[in-house]
Structure 1
Amino acid sequence: MRNKMIYFNFHLFVIIFANLQIFQVQAANIFCYYDTQRITDVNAAINYLEPALQFCNFLIYGYAGIDGETYQVKSLDYGLNYDIYQAITSLKLKHNRLKVLLSIGGDRDQTEDLAEDNKYLKLLENLSSRNAFINSIQSVIRTYGFDGLDMAWQFPKNPPKHEHSGFRKYLDKLMNLFRRSPVIDENSAFHKEQFVSLLTELRQSLNPMGAIMTMTVLPHVSAELFLDVKPIVNHVDFIILATFDYLTPYRDPTIAHYTAPIYAVSEHDPSHNINYDVQYWLNHTTATSKLVLGVPAYGRSWTMIKKSGITGHPPITAGGPGRAGHRTLTAGLLSWPEICVKIHQNKELEGDAARFRKVSDPTKRFGTYAYRSVDENNEYGIWVSYEEPKTAANKAEYAHARNLSGVALFDLSMDDVTGECGDGTYSILKSIHNAFKKFK
C-alpha cells in the first residue's frame, strides 16, 4: 500500500511538473516563420537557418498551396521540389524541442481576387474537395515528418480604407454615409460555416497522428465575415494574428504612415493597430493562451516626392512603392538589414546610396520610421515604416502584458541573417527572446 502511495504521489508530481513546464512555454512561445520564396540552394538555406532555431519553439515553414483542380496540397517551392521539406524537418534531430509545421496559403499561393473564383473558398463548398485536401495533408505530414500544419487561409481581403487628414477626412466620412460598402463575398456566411467544418474534419484526422494545428489570420481578412471565433478556438492549438501591414504601398500608394502600430494613431483608421485586433479576439474568447502576436522583420517603403515635405512626420503624401532592396527585390519592401545599413550609411554618400534619417518613438506606441527627402532634382526620396530589435521587444512585452501565448516572427529570412547590423545574427529574433526572458 505504501509503495502504491509513493508511486501515485510521484506520478502526480510528474504530471503537475509537466503542466507547469507547458505553461511556462505557453507564456513565451516564439513562432518562427520561414518563407523560402527567395531560396535557390537548400544546403545554404539550412546553414543560414540553423543558428536561429535555438530561439524558436515552433518553425512554421512556408508556404504550400492548393491545386485548383484536385484540391490537394502542392509545393510552392518551384525548383526545390519536396527536397526542402525533408531538409527542414530533419532540423528536429539537432533541436529536439522544436516543432515544425507546414503553412498553407499565406498570401503566397496564386488565386483569383474575385470570391467566386477563389480556390480557397471553392474548396470549402463540398465534402469531397475538403476530403481531398485533408488526405493530402495527412500524406505530407507522414511522408516528411512535419509536426502539424498552419492554416494561413487566403480569404478575400477587405478593400483599402483610404487615409486622409483634416478637411478631406471629414468629407470622406460624410460621403461614406451615402456610399454602399463593397460586397467582398456574397456567400461569406456559408464559407464561414464551412471553414469551421474543414477545421473540425482536420482536427479529427490529425488527432490520431498527434499533430498540431495552428491558424494564421492574414492581414486585411475580416474575422467578422469569415471566422466563427468560438468553434475555431476549440479546434486549433494556436491562433496567430498577423498584426502588421495595416497600410502598404500597394494598397495605399499615395499616403505613407505607420504600418504596424501597437495603439491607434491620430489621422489613422482606428482599427489599424495591434491593440484593436487583439481586443477583438479577447472580446470573443477567453483563451488568451491560444493567441499569438505577429511581428514583422521588415519595413514597408514609399517613394517620397516634392509634396511629401522635408519633416518625414506621417502621414505624408507619397508617390507609390519605394525602390526594391537588393535582397527583397520587391518594390515597397525592405528587410531589416537593408534598412539598418542605410541608417548607418556614410553621410557623404549621395543618390540612392545616401543615408536614411531614423525617427524613433519614445512612447513605444507607434513604431519607428526612417526617411530620405528628395534631392535637388526631386529624386531618391523614400519613407519606410519598419520593425527593429527595440520595437519587436516592445511588442513581446505587450504580448506578455496581455497574457498572450507568445510572438510570431514574419519571417526569419527578413531578419539580420548574416549580422550586417552589428548586433550579431537574427537581432530581431533575439530581442524577442530576451524580452521574454525577463519575465521568467
Structure 2
Amino acid sequence: MANLNLMQLLSLALVLTASMNATASATAVKAIYWIDQPLFPASSINTSLFTHVYYAFLAPNATSFKLCVSNSTNITLTNFITTFRSRIPTVTTILSIGGSNATPFSLIFSNITTRATFINSTISVARAYGFDGVDLDWEFPQNSDDTNNLGSLFQEWRIAITADAAITGKPRLVLTAAVYFAVYFSVSDTPWTYPVTSINQNVDWVNVMSYNFHGSWNNDTGAPSGLFNPTRNISVVDGLKSWIGAGVKPEKLVMGMPLYGMTWQLQDPNVNGIGAPVVRPDPGSNGAMAYFQVVDFNKQRNAKVVYDVDTMSVYSYSGSYWIGYDDPITVTAKVGYAQALSLRGYFFWAAGYDTNNWKISTQETKQIDHSEQEYACKSASNSVLDWKWQIKVEL
C-alpha cells in the first residue's frame, strides 16, 4: 500500500484537474441534496456554491401511487421554495422522490396506468410548489423487469413534462434520477443493467452515487468512495467506466461524492492501513460521521491522517478508531477527473455534513493557479503519475 504526503497527493489532484482544456467552461451541474432537518435548515445552504439543490425526499402512497404531502411537509416544501426564490444567486430546485427507505416503485412502475398516476402526481406537486424539476431515487431495481419498466417510465415521464410545458407555457421541468455507482447490478446472482437508451433519450442526467463502497457491513477497513481500487472493480473509476462503456453519454452523468466518512474500531491498533481487520463500526452513528465531525475527531484526538494513492482516498486513525473519508484534496482530484471525462458535473450528499465554512464545497469553486500547478507537479513521483494517467486514458 503506497502512502503519500499532502503535497504529493495534491500534485495528483492538480494533474488530473490540469488535464481538462484550460478554456473549458465551468462545470454545468454543482448540486447538493438537502434532507429536512431542524439542525440545518435550507436557509443555511450557501447558494453561491451550487447550481442545483435537491429536496429529499417525498414518497408515493403504496395504494394511490400519488405523492404524499402531509401538513408538516406542506410547510417544509413551501419554506424550501420560498428560501431559494429570495436568494441571490438563484439555484435550480429539484424535488427528489424515493430515497433509501423501501418504496413500492416496482409495483407502481409495473404497468402504464399506475406509471401515469405517479407521473401526473409528481408534475402536479412540483408545479404547485414551484420546483424546477423532479428526480427519482430508486434504490434499487431488482431485476430486468424493473429496469425495462424504468425505461418506459422515463419515456412516459419525458412526454408528460414536455406536454405540461406546452400547456402551461412554463419552462419544462428538469428530469433526473439518482442511480447505482455502476450501470449494472446483481441481486442474488441475477444481474441487470440500467436502461441506457432511455436514459440517453429521456433523462437530463443521472446522479451516479459513487460512494458507499465500504461500510459497516464489511469486516475490514476500506475507502468508502475511493477513486481507484487495486483489488476489486468497485471504485469511482470502475463505476464511471461501466456507465460510459455501456453507451451513456458523458454529459448525462453527474458524479456523486459523500460529505461523510465511514468508521470502524480496529481489531489491532497497530494494524491500521486499508484492509485492516475490524471489530465493529465505531465511532459515530451506525459507523458513519459527517465530515465536520471527522474534522473535530482528528483535531481532538490528534489523529494520524494518511493519504492513500492506491485508492486516492484519505483516512485517519487514533488508537483503535479508524475513519475513511474524502477531504478537499481528494474531492479536488475527483472533480478534475470528472471534468477530464467531460461529465455533466458533480453532486454532494448531503447538505449540513460539510464544515460551517463549507471547507469541501468551497474548495470546488476555487480556480487553480497554473504556477502553483507546475510547482506541485514537479514534486510528485513520475511513476505514480504515469500509472494513474494510464488508468484515466483507458476509460
Shift of 1:106: 2.3
Q: Name the aligned partner's letter for residue 314 of structure 2.
A: T
Shift of 1:219: 5.1
Equivalent of residue 393 in structure 1, options 302, 308, 332: 332
Helix, strand or coil: the match of 1:310? coil
Shift of 1:364: 7.8
Whether 1:82 and 2:74 are equivalent positions in the alignment is yes
The sequence identity of aligned pairs, in percent, is 20
Equivalent of residue 317 in structure 2, options 367, 371, 395: 371
Q: Name the aligned partner's letter for residue 30 of structure 2.
A: I
Measure the CA separation in 2 of the matches of 1:437 and 1:237. Answer: 32
Whether 1:344 and 2:320 are equivalent positions in the alignment is no
Q: What are the superposed Cα offsets for residues 153-210 of structure 1, whole Å, 9 maximum, x if unpaired? A: 1225xxxxxxxxxxxxxxxxxxxxxxxxxxxx4xx22222111111111111112331
For residues 226 and 121 of structure 1, do their structure 2 counterparts lie closer, same or farther at Cα, with a shift above 3 Å needed? farther
Whether 1:48 and 2:10 are equivalent positions in the alignment is no
- 1:10-89 equivalences in 2 (<5 Å): 24-25=25-26, 27-36=27-36, 39-40=37-38, 45-49=41-45, 52-75=46-69, 80-89=72-81
For residues 105 and 286 of structure 1, do their structure 2 counterparts lie closer, same or farther at Cα, with a shift above 3 Å needed? closer
- Structure 2 match to 1:301: 263
Shift of 1:29: 2.1
Equivalent of residue 99 in structure 1, options 88, 92, 107: 92
Measure the CA separation in 2 of the matches of 1:67 and 1:339. Answer: 37
Whether 1:322 and 2:322 are equivalent positions in the alignment is no
Q: What are the superposed Cα offsets for residues 371-411 of structure 1, whole Å, 9 maximum, x if unpaired? A: 122xxxxxxx2211111111111111111111111111111
TM-score for the superposition, normalised by structure 2: 0.79
Q: What are the superposed Cα offsets for residues 239-288 of structure 1, whole Å, 9 maximum, x if unpaired? A: 11110111111x22x211111111123xx4x2210111111111122621
For residues 53 and 340 of structure 1, do their structure 2 counterparts lie closer, same or farther at Cα, with a shift above 3 Å needed? same
Range with bigger deviation, 62-71 or 272-281: 62-71
- 1:68-217 equivalences in 2 (<5 Å): 68-75=62-69, 80-90=72-82, 91-95=84-88, 97-107=90-100, 109-111=101-103, 119-155=104-140, 185=142, 188-207=143-162, 208-209=164-165, 210-217=172-179
Q: What are the superposed Cα offsets for residues 29-75 of structure 1, whole Å, 9 maximum, x if unpaired? A: 20111122xx137xx613322xx211111111111122212211225
Q: Name the aligned partner's letter for residue 29 of structure 2.
A: N
For residues 309 and 303 of structure 1, do their structure 2 counterparts lie closer, same or farther at Cα, with a shift above 3 Å needed? closer
- Structure 1 match to 2:228: 263
Do the aligned partners of 2:213 and 2:225 also contact (CA within 8 Å) in 1? Answer: yes
Moved over 3 A (4+): 218-224, 435-439
Whether 1:383 and 2:325 are equivalent positions in the alignment is no
- Structure 1 match to 2:345: 406
Helix, strand or coil: the match of 1:255? coil
Q: Name the aligned partner's letter for residue 246 of structure 1.
A: F
Measure the CA separation in 2 of the matches of 1:286 and 1:199. Answer: 15
Measure the CA separation in 2 of the matches of 1:87 and 1:130. Answer: 29
Q: Name the aligned partner's letter for residue 287 of structure 2.
A: G
- The alignment of Structure 1 onto Structure 2 pairs a total of residues equal to 335
TM-score for the superposition, normalised by structure 1: 0.71
Helix, strand or coil: the match of 2:54? strand
- Structure 1 match to 2:386: none
Equivalent of residue 252 in structure 2, options 282, 286, 290: 290
Shift of 1:28: 4.2
Measure the CA separation in 2 of the matches of 1:321 and 1:289. Answer: 37
For residues 28 and 364 of structure 1, do their structure 2 counterparts lie closer, same or farther at Cα, with a shift above 3 Å needed? farther
Shift of 1:95: 3.4
Q: Name the aligned partner's letter for residue 331 of structure 1.
A: N
Measure the CA separation in 1 of the matches of 2:75 and 2:178. Answer: 25
Helix, strand or coil: the match of 1:129? helix
- 1:228-267 equivalences in 2 (<5 Å): 228-249=195-216, 251-252=217-218, 254-265=219-230
Equivalent of residue 307 in structure 2, options 345, 360, 374: 360
Do the aligned partners of 1:412 and 1:426 also contact (CA within 8 Å) in 2? Answer: no
Measure the CA separation in 2 of the matches of 1:366 and 1:317. Answer: 20
Shift of 1:81: 1.9
- Structure 2 match to 1:433: 365
Measure the CA separation in 1 of the matches of 2:80 and 2:65. Answer: 24
Do the aligned partners of 1:393 and 1:435 also contact (CA within 8 Å) in 2? Answer: no
Do the aligned partners of 1:302 and 1:318 also contact (CA within 8 Å) in 2? Answer: yes
- Unmatched 5+ stretches in structure 2: 1-23, 166-171, 186-190, 374-395
Measure the CA separation in 2 of the matches of 1:437 and 1:155. Answer: 41
For residues 46 and 215 of structure 1, do their structure 2 counterparts lie closer, same or farther at Cα, with a shift above 3 Å needed? closer
